[in-house]
Structure 1
């Protein structure tokens, strides 16, 4: 068995691992990057990018179908499933190739392919060929889909988001389990491309939404496009001729069975740490067998081991994975001088239509942080000027502020241009602006962001700081 001595070993060549590698290499050339699968990040292969390609096709089809709203008709709309999926795969492959080329530029002696497992706190075995003794170790092994046992009864008709992007054509029907980010994005996209969709959830959640007013609004909107029961009572899932039969309670006591061509399991993800023999790392584990770590330094206890990205199951978002790779890489490189890294304001976007966005603290977190001393401002986009002009006037934005200080604390939104408004709010939260300071910023007319101004005015009034907002469409007239 080959034996190697390095300063830092990084397990996983995804987003977090690649960023960590680049940070470590600034300090030492004695580093290895270990990858068990194909190069190319989750985002590029099966996550952010291919899903947005499918959504872009769905948005195009949906936009054409709504032409009559503006007095425009393009005739019958036809969705060519084969061409849709061909473009998804082709563009996806371009993104993956770009990532692969980046990794392949790393020196060959720094790259090792194979499954790594701990043989001791400082020892890793890769496959059965290489033993690595590392002064510091970074775990960046990512995550994988988590599938409840009863869904496996769908057998060969069970698919994950990983599988969808390999389809050669669109199916006739799909049942989706899990109205989280992945389920909502893919389910709505498939529905708008002509696929019959039904969605089931457990516990009542709709995506990452925590504000009950917005959850109810979003649930109503989604149900106008396809059936979505976020707290369903599914009795059976079974493989039958022609697909997957799902038996569920429809209403109070009425049992119903529907058959679908495929079952999409979008039921969350689990960290890839269970194959690492993590018990040999001599670090504290929680009740789920995951390493206990400091979220500011990403250090596991007082050890020389760091964990970042989806592997720590904290913030499974690409920009967070990149930040965590930077923090873990810096600390592994400078160990034992371990320091807290910059954690940015929480920001998350779901690319449904309308979009979902959350910024800063959730309403529950605001309540705890402010001991109940907070206020809420809101705006409906149903009568917002620019939103009505472009026919995207569905949505609700709620913003939260602290009594006394007038500090902006966070927001949730289900509405048009949420991906852009969320960035403005995240920048404001990170700069620790008050609501009054945010209202001093320029707002052009007519834009959707004027709706944000309305919500902030409402919040300032409820904080007993600003005046009572004028009635009517204060977003539409000049000089407001």
Structure 2
């Protein structure tokens, strides 16, 4: 068996792995970039990009149905499911191609194809042909769908999001298990494309939402389009000749059995560390077998091993994986000079309609950090001017601030343009702006951002800094 030695070995060529490679190469040219499956990121292949393509098709269909709001005669759209899925795959493959081109541009002497397993803290075995001795190692192996055992009763009609995008036609019906980010996005998109959808959850959660008032509003809104039980009592799942039969307790009808073409398991993801023989690496593992690490250096304990991206199961988002890859690659490259890297303020967006955005501290974190010394401002989008003009006047924004300092701490929203409002609020929170400073920024009229100003004015008053809110204030313009 061949033996090879390098300064830095990076396992995985997703977002984190590619970022780690580029940064490590600034410090050394003795590198190995190992991949055992397909080049390309989770985002491009099976995550954010194909899901947004499906959502875009769903939004187009929904816009046709809603056209009558503006006096435009629309009606029920005719949906060509084969054409919808063909475009999803075609555009998805373009995005994957960009990633493959980037990897192809890396030094071919650095690229190693095969599956890696730890022999000890410095040695990796690649398939049955190579032992790689590495002074430092970056684990960037990503994640995969996690499917609870009881869902496997669906047999060949069980889907995960990876499978969904390979369908050549839209199914007639899908049962979605898991109202998290993936489940909500795909479930609503399928529903708007004419698929009969029912969604089942456990524990009462809805996406990443932590604010009870936002969660209640979102749950009520989703249930107007398709049944969503966030804490369902599912009794049996069975593969039948007709599809997947699911027996559950309905709040109104009691025990009910419904049959669906497919069961979509959107029940979270698990880190790809369980096939690395990680127990041989000599690092501390948590109860799930994931390495314990410092999230500012990405270093596992006091070792020469770093872990970045979805593999560490911390914040499975592309922009976080990119940051972590850069930090891990820099530290592996210049080891033992390990430095803390920039971790940005938490920002997450769910591309449902209305969209969901979470920024900074959650309401629970605010309560724990500030005890009773905080306040919450609020704005509804139901009567907000620009939102009503566009026929998108649904949603609620809640913003959190610290008593005394007036510091803006975070926000949660379910409403129009949350992907954009979330960025504005995240920038302000990362700059540690006070609510008063945010209110001093310019606000145009009529724009959805005026809803942010309304919530901030409400918060500033409750922080005992600004005046009481004025109903229909004249300086704001109508509907602000």
TM-score above 0.5: yes
Query: Aligned residue for 1:413?
Result: 413
Query: Aligned residue for 1:123?
Result: 123
SS at match of 1:423: helix
Q: Are the equivalent residues in 2 in contact too, given 1:142–1:310 (CA < 8 A)? A: yes
Residues 304-383 of structure 1: matches in 2 within 5 Å?
304-383=304-383
Structure 2 Cα separation of the partners of residues 464 and 296 of structure 1: 36
- Which runs of 5 or more structure 2 residues have no equivalent in the other structure? none
Residues 180-329 of structure 1: matches in 2 within 5 Å?
180-251=180-251, 254-329=254-329
SS at match of 2:382: helix
In the superposition, relative to structure 1, how do residues 410 and 256 fare at CA in structure 2: closer, same or farther (>3 Å)?
A: same
Q: Are the equivalent residues in 1 in contact too, given 2:64–2:76 (CA < 8 A)? A: no
Deviation >2 Å, runs of 4+: 472-476
TM-score, normalization: structure 2? Answer: 0.99
SS at match of 2:29: coil
Q: Does 1:151 align with 2:151?
A: yes
Structure 1 Cα separation of the partners of residues 132 and 100 of structure 2: 24
Query: Aligned residue for 1:56?
Result: 56
Residues 59-74 of structure 1: matches in 2 within 5 Å?
59-74=59-74
In the superposition, relative to structure 1, how do residues 281 and 475 fare at CA in structure 2: closer, same or farther (>3 Å)?
A: farther
C-alpha displacement of 1:290: 1.1
Structure 2 Cα separation of the partners of residues 125 and 345 of structure 1: 38
Structure 2 Cα separation of the partners of residues 151 and 421 of structure 1: 37
Q: Does 1:177 align with 2:187?
A: no
Structure 2 Cα separation of the partners of residues 379 and 250 of structure 1: 33
C-alpha displacement of 1:371: 2.3
Q: Are the equivalent residues in 1 in contact too, given 2:179–2:199 (CA < 8 A)? A: yes
SS at match of 1:66: helix
Query: Aligned residue for 1:449?
Result: 449
In the superposition, relative to structure 1, how do residues 390 and 413 fare at CA in structure 2: closer, same or farther (>3 Å)?
A: same
C-alpha displacement of 1:474: 6.0
Q: Deviations over 1:238-297 (max 9, x none)?
A: 000121000000017810000000000000000000011111100111111111111111
In the superposition, relative to structure 1, how do residues 62 and 252 fare at CA in structure 2: closer, same or farther (>3 Å)?
A: closer
C-alpha displacement of 1:117: 0.6
Query: Aligned residue for 2:426?
Result: 426
Query: Aligned residue for 1:27?
Result: 27
- Which runs of 5 or more structure 1 residues have no equivalent in the other structure? none
Structure 2 Cα separation of the partners of residues 84 and 425 of structure 1: 34
Structure 1 Cα separation of the partners of residues 433 and 230 of structure 2: 36
Q: Does 1:458 align with 2:458?
A: yes
C-alpha displacement of 1:472: 2.7
SS at match of 1:383: coil
Query: Aligned residue for 1:399?
Result: 399
Query: Aligned residue for 1:5?
Result: 5
In the superposition, relative to structure 1, how do residues 479 and 285 fare at CA in structure 2: closer, same or farther (>3 Å)?
A: closer
Structure 2 Cα separation of the partners of residues 40 and 479 of structure 1: 46
Structure 2 Cα separation of the partners of residues 446 and 162 of structure 1: 41
SS at match of 1:215: helix
Query: Aligned pair count?
Result: 480
Structure 1 Cα separation of the partners of residues 75 and 295 of structure 2: 55
SS at match of 2:109: helix
TM-score, normalization: structure 1? Answer: 0.99
